[in-house]
Amino acid sequence: MHPPSPPMSPPVPATEAGVATLPVTGGVYAFEDAAGGTLALAGTANLRRRVRERLAEPVVDERFRVEHIRVCRAASEFERDWAYLQHARQRLPATYRAGLERWRGWFIHCDAEMPFPRFVRGCDLAALPAGGDCFGPLPDTRAAQGVIDAVEDLFDLCRYHHILMEAPHGRACAYKEMGRCPAPCDGTIGMDRYRAMVRDALSFLAAPADKRATIERAMQTAASELDFERATVLRRRWERAAAFERPACRHLRRLGDFRFAFVANGERRRSARVFLVVGGWITPWVDVPEAIDGGAVSSLLATLDDAARTCPIDREPAALENMGLACWHMFRDDAALSFVRLGSADAASRLGPAIEAVQTAASVEPP
């Protein structure tokens, strides 16, 4: 069971007196007809102002006259989008998915135990195979394909899956001649050995920065031992691994590690709101209205870690929609939103500065 949707307020009449009672904070508003049906649903940075503007528009069809207004307060753009999605799913079940195209992340998948393993990309986790390993998020299909190309290049994996499927009777491509593929397709190596190579690639993708640092240390050791041939090989590999340090790869991890503290602006100036984001579970956790000391940060991080361990990474439609929304926001250049990966080695050192940065940058729009 996922966390409940943020509550809507009781209905107020669609009159100037009713509008005057609305908050001037950001949020989501719903226009309802006399029977309580939803006529419109949208987010805004200022509920009172935007609702007043919308109600001033002429009514073309009396069937769509607004009788009541409900609102849900949400301080940040991230929170507004999240609240909108939860209410759209309930209020507009037949049409809301048309607006989800931009809210998504891309992932790559591979199952090393398949007869002929391959890396594939997709933005719909439900359409990817359930077994094997899934990594992400990535911002778009180009970045996802770039990761696949880079990992195939780094580990000298097969580039042509249709030829691999003919193993051991396939005809090797030019990569074998270049020394860039061990050619399992023609039986030069067996598929068991090739699957072991794929497992090494999956291990690398689980922590690219750590693995590249390991390659660098091995390269330095080889050089110090005057093993220049091995050092040269390791240097080439280290240089290829630099592809995983591009900004598009900064959140690349196993799907099971999709556990974050999102820090967004709160309703008050210089305040922050911390969200627990675990897969498709998005939960407003705590508001931080003022400076927070190291002890309080450690306590907050401990409660977030404990909660994150109890939340599953599931593939239910609602969870995947929420995860797509979170992914989209993670790749935006937004000073009013920070995120810290829970369970990471630097989580304790990053959470406090993330809160402070949002408190400094974010503020509620004045009325």
In this structure, are 122 and 227 located in the same domain?
yes
CATH of the domain at 89: 3.40.1440.10
pLDDT tens by residue, 81-92: 999 999 999 999
Task: Give the residue from 249, 278, 299 where a domain finishes.
Answer: 249
In this structure, are 112 and 240 located in the same domain?
yes
The tokens for 229 are 């041939």
How large is the average pLDDT for residues 336-359? 90
Query: Is the pLDDT score of 366 beyond 70?
Result: no
pLDDT tens by residue, 226-263: 888 888 888 888 888 888 889 999 999 999 999 999 99
7, part of any domain: no
Which residue is associated with the tokens 């929420």? 322
Task: Give the residue from 249, 271, 288 where a domain finishes.
Answer: 249
The tokens for 65 are 């006259």
185, part of any domain: yes
Q: How many domains does the chain contain in total?
A: 3
In this structure, are 112 and 245 located in the same domain?
yes
In this structure, are 282 and 243 located in the same domain?
no
Closest among 333, 320, 323 to 247, alpha carbons compared: 333
How large is the average pLDDT for residues 295-315? 90
In this structure, are 127 and 235 located in the same domain?
yes
366, part of any domain: no
5, part of any domain: no
In this structure, are 111 and 70 located in the same domain?
no
Write down the pLDDT at residue 290: 83
- What is the domain range of residue 324? 258-361
* 48-57, 77-86, 335-344: the lowest-pLDDT one: 335-344
Residue 290 or 196, more confident: 196
| Cα separation, 315 vs 224, whole angstroms | 49
299, part of any domain: yes
Q: How would you write the chain as a 3-class SS string?
A: CCCCCCCCCCCEECCHHHHHCCCCCCEEEEEECCCCCEEEEEEECCHHHHHHHHHCCCCCCHHHCCCEEEEEECCCHHHHHHHHHHHHHHHCCCCHHHHCCCCCCEEEEECCCCCCCCCEEECCHHHCCCCCEEEEEECCHHHHHHHHHHHHHHCCCCCCHHHHCCCCCCCCCHHHHCCCCCCHHHCCCCHHHHHHHHHHHHHHHHCHHHHHHHHHHHHHHHHHCCCHHHHHHHHHHHHHHHHHHCHHHCCCEEHHHCEEEEEEECCCCCCEEEEEEECCEEEEEEEECCCCCHHHHHHHHHHHHHHHHHCCCCCCHHHHHHHHHHHHHHCCCCCCEEEEECCCCCHHHHHHHHHHHHHHHCCCCCC
Mean pLDDT computed over every residue of the chain: 91
In this structure, are 113 and 188 located in the same domain?
yes
196, part of any domain: yes
pLDDT band with cut points at 50, 70 and 90 for residue 126: confident
In this structure, are 81 and 177 located in the same domain?
no
Query: Is the pLDDT score of 363 beyond 70?
Result: no
34, part of any domain: yes
In this structure, are 297 and 352 located in the same domain?
yes
Task: Give the residue from 67, 99, 131 where a domain finishes.
Answer: 99
How large is the average pLDDT for residues 207-217? 86
303, part of any domain: yes
In this structure, are 111 and 152 located in the same domain?
yes
Write down the pLDDT at residue 362: 57
In this structure, are 113 and 236 located in the same domain?
yes
In this structure, are 95 and 110 located in the same domain?
no
* 79-93, 185-199, 320-334: the lowest-pLDDT one: 320-334
Write down the pLDDT at residue 364: 46
Write down the pLDDT at residue 136: 95
Percent of the chain at pLDDT > 90 equals: 66
Query: Is the pLDDT score of 117 beyond 60?
Result: yes
Percent of the chain at pLDDT > 70 equals: 97
How large is the average pLDDT for residues 358-367? 64
Write down the pLDDT at residue 81: 97
The tokens for 224 are 């110090």
